[in-house]
Chains A and B, each alone.
Chain A
Amino acid sequence: MKLKALVVDDSKVMRAMIMQALAKAHLGEFEFVEASDGLEALGRFNLAETDICFVDWNMPNMNGLEFVRQVRSITVDPIPVVMITSERTMGKMEQALNEAGATAYICKPFTAEELRYKLAHIVEGIRARKATHKSSFFSRLFG
């Protein structure tokens, strides 16, 4: 089962690095949608389809923190939003995780191993939730 991941970073190379590291992290298959800032990401965010978001902090137009706030304000389901950023103070981490509601916080530079370590349980949760939804859908369909 492919997970639909929204990768948001104003650096095209960094988006490529995130996608490459996720592919190497043995977290299963992903289908990627890219955006270069928070505003563009909100336009590409699909409530019914997006499974997980990876978002940078410092971006033009709308920063990552505001994107997290916006996603949290429009979704009831806790869609995981992972911040991948060069901001590495405790204050910023607390702001992202506790105030805005980010699910996880990863500092750049990162490795595929680090992504695996920090994301394994999150990805497992998404897959379990999707499997439950799928099975309840078929139960309703066929009784």
Chain B
Amino acid sequence: MVTAYSEKKKLFDTLIAPVMEQAVVQMLGQILGEPVVLVDQGPVDNGHCPHEGEDLLAIIAFTGDIKWAYSLVLPKETATDMARRFAGFDIPYESQDMGDVVGEIANVLAGNVVALLDRQRIRCQLSVPTVARGRGIKIFGILDASQHRLHFEYSGGKFWFRLTAAPH
């Protein structure tokens, strides 16, 4: 069991981004039926979504050995394509079902993250997803908390993750 905050922070910095990448490539690759590619990653600058269009945002929080959260940001076009491939039928972007399916995708992905961390003896439990829709969504991180962004791409579009460690 990991106890000290410095130890948890170090684990977050070194472990979470690679595990997240592995989980996304494995699980979303399987869901989408084609390879998903990490195109860019790095520290978070100002919290703005990296494009100006409309987005869907799904947030999952993790508790346990490391407390952290991820936000999945899907532009409208990506969300529509991803939802169709996941559900097997078309889901209108404006419908309640779209939020439902994006939350479910985030949830399935989080389950894979927990399983990958479990193999490294890091125990985490996941929250139910929170989903929001909007334009130019800004995510405020906690001051001094470790944050990391991952940008992915597949033929249906681009999408982003923002990983945030809890300060304690």
Contacts and interface: CB of A to CB of B under 8 A. Distances in A.
Given A16-B87, A17-B87, A17-B88, A109 B97 contact: no
A15 B95 CA distance: 16
B118 A89 contact: yes
Chain B interface size range: 20 to 34
Contact of A11 (B27, B101, B111, B114): B101
Nearest to B103: A11
B115 to A, nearest CB: 4
Contacts of B91: 13
B87 A89 contact: no
A118 interface: no
Interface in A15-50: 16-17, 20
A108 B108 contact: yes
Contact of A12 (B27, B100, B110): B100
Nearest to B124: A89
B30 interface: yes
A86 B110 contact: yes
B22 interface: no
B104 A14 contact: yes
Contacts of A90: 118
A86 B111 contact: yes
B30 A109 contact: yes
B31 interface: yes
B13 to A, nearest CB: 23
Contacts of A86: 107-108, 110-112
A85 B111 contact: yes
B128 interface: yes
Interface of B: 27, 30-31, 86-89, 91, 96-97, 100-101, 103-104, 107-108, 110-112, 114-115, 118, 126, 128
Given A88-B115, A108-B108, 19 more contacts: A10-B128, A11-B100, A11-B103, A11-B104, A12-B96, A13-B97, A14-B100, A16-B87, A58-B126, A59-B128, A60-B128, A85-B111, A86-B111, A87-B114, A88-B111, A88-B114, A89-B118, A91-B118, A109-B31
14 contacts: A10-B128, A11-B104, A16-B87, A20-B88, A58-B126, A59-B128, A60-B128, A85-B111, A86-B112, A87-B114, A88-B111, A88-B112, A108-B104, A109-B30
